[in-house]
Amino acid sequence: MTAINTLPIFIGHNDTLLSLYLPERGEGRSFFTRSDTGHIDLPRAREGGMIGGIFAIFVPPDPLIQPMRRDDMIKTDTGYEVPLAPGIEQAYAQQVTMSMMASLSNIERESDGQVKVVRTVDDLTICLREDIFAAILHFEGAEAIDPGLDALEVFYQAGLRSLGIVWSRPNAFAHGVPFGFPRSPDTGPGLTAAGRELVRASNRMGIILDLSHLNEQGFWDVANLSDAPLVATHSNAHTLCPTTRNLTDKQLDAIKASKGIVGLNFAVTDLRSDGWNDADTPIEVMVRHIDYLVERLSIDCVGFGTDFDGATMPQEIGDVTGLPKLINALRESGYDDITLRKLSYENWVRVLSKTWK
Ligand SMILES: [Zn+2]
């Protein structure tokens, strides 16, 4: 089967900036040169039909304090548990965040007009019309922001338009979910007082609040406070894959009620019914997740999240050039072009436009 894609695709979450930032991940690759390393670069994005996405800044643990650990997973009889990662210092988080923001600015400048860091609905509209690659600046965890929120104002001015309150670790605002399978996302306390202020300020400024990696109590705190559509950029259905990172039916119902969006996470650990980190995961499993999310949320509240450059992808997808295979599989299972367009970019554009005002 050859992959034919005629649809533009927007993705809700990627860690490409981290892959470019960490030599041990990206091997020094450039965003502009086609590579076999990682999942996204501009030539591969164009080939896969990706028109843009939310670009995360994730601050890895400070190597001076806490070496990167990739093997802290504890196997259990039915799955695994990973101890909650410790928090990180604000000064260190700001320093790394600045470097990664600079690398995104450099990409925009060096792209000769091919890439734009999108800040407004107008920017996004122009990108879609003129086939300019749209990058939205996102923080995956608010560690670089002080509890007084001065840095939020400054980062907003510098282009921040989407914010994950936490990654899977605690910070001044909330508590992330530790990774675990099978396990409920209800793993700890909700937002702090500073976290509630962060939600109010983000609403006022028109910053997307990403609920992926937040624990369940934090999710409900945001759901009760926020006046924006609820967004989980890269999470799946807990009923099909009971990891802490996925959303229960009640959470999905709340996202639907807010006319928000869930971006399908392609991470195999969050797709597979056994929760295992095995790339040998058929596209059919992704289609079943989309079916479930669409059934629960409606066709208007589901998109693609991917987690490219941040997780193990199903082998058949491989990288961003594999997106047309998913589109084709969805088409073969009965989605027509009108519904596919909603999934591939229109729902994301609606939620971004509603939130940015
Ligand atoms: Zn993530």
pTM: predicted TM-score of the whole model, two decimal places: 0.96
Per-residue confidence band for 67, with pLDDT thresholds at 50, 70 and 90: low
Give per-residue pLDDT as tens, 207-265: 999 999 999 999 999 999 999 999 999 999 999 999 999 999 999 999 999 999 999 99
Give the rounded percent of residues in the chain with a pLDDT score beyond 90.
Answer: 91
Q: How far is the CA of 13 from the centre of ligand 1 (A)?
A: 8
- Mean pLDDT in residue range 16-40: 94
Res 187 pLDDT > 50: yes
Q: How far, CA to CA in Å, does 156 sit from each of 105, 138, 139, 205?
A: 14, 10, 11, 8
d(CA 310, CA 320): 12
Give the rounded percent of residues in the chain with a pLDDT score beyond 70.
Answer: 97
- Alpha helices, DSSP H, located in the chain: 16-21, 23-26, 42-48, 90-110, 121-130, 150-157, 193-205, 216-225, 249-257, 283-297, 323-332, 337-341, 347-356
Q: How far is the CA of 69 from the centre of ligand 1 (A)?
A: 16
Q: How far is the CA of 3 from the centre of ligand 1 (A)?
A: 28
Res 1 pLDDT > 60: no
Res 4 pLDDT > 80: no
Q: How far, CA to CA in Å, does 318 sit from each of 17, 92, 324, 341?
A: 18, 33, 11, 22
Q: How far is the CA of 166 from the centre of ligand 1 (A)?
A: 10
Cis amide linkage into residue 182, ω under 30° from 0 = yes
Ordered strands of the 180-181 beta sheet: 74-75, 80-81, 180-181
Q: How far is the CA of 234 from the centre of ligand 1 (A)?
A: 7
| Three-state secondary structure call for residue 320 | helix
Give per-residue pLDDT as tens, 317-345: 999 999 999 999 999 999 999 999 999 99
On the CB side of 236, CA atoms within 13 Å amount to 27
Q: How far is the CA of 141 from the centre of ligand 1 (A)?
A: 9
Q: Are 135 and 52 in contact (CB under 8 A)?
A: yes
Q: How far is the CA of 160 from the centre of ligand 1 (A)?
A: 17
Q: How far is the CA of 2 from the centre of ligand 1 (A)?
A: 31
Q: How far is the CA of 243 from the centre of ligand 1 (A)?
A: 13
Q: How far is the CA of 11 from the centre of ligand 1 (A)?
A: 13
Q: Supply 227's token pair.
A: 């006046």
pLDDT of residue 276: 94
Give per-residue pLDDT as tens, 32-56: 999 999 999 999 999 999 999 999 9
220, β-bridge pairs: none
* Phi, psi (deg, nearest 5) at residue 261: -155, 145
Crossing angle of helices 216-225 and 249-257, rounded to 10°:
20
Q: How far is the CA of 251 from the centre of ligand 1 (A)?
A: 18
The residue to which tokens 């941040």 are assigned: 310
Give per-residue pLDDT as tens, 107-138: 999 999 999 999 999 999 999 999 999 999 99
Residue 161 CB contacts under 8 Å (≥ 6 apart), including other chains: 118, 119, 136, 137, 138, 206, 207, 208, 352, 356
Q: How far is the CA of 199 from the centre of ligand 1 (A)?
A: 19
Q: How far is the CA of 56 from the centre of ligand 1 (A)?
A: 9
Q: How far is the CA of 140 from the centre of ligand 1 (A)?
A: 7
d(CA 82, CA 71): 9
Q: How far is the CA of 304 from the centre of ligand 1 (A)?
A: 14
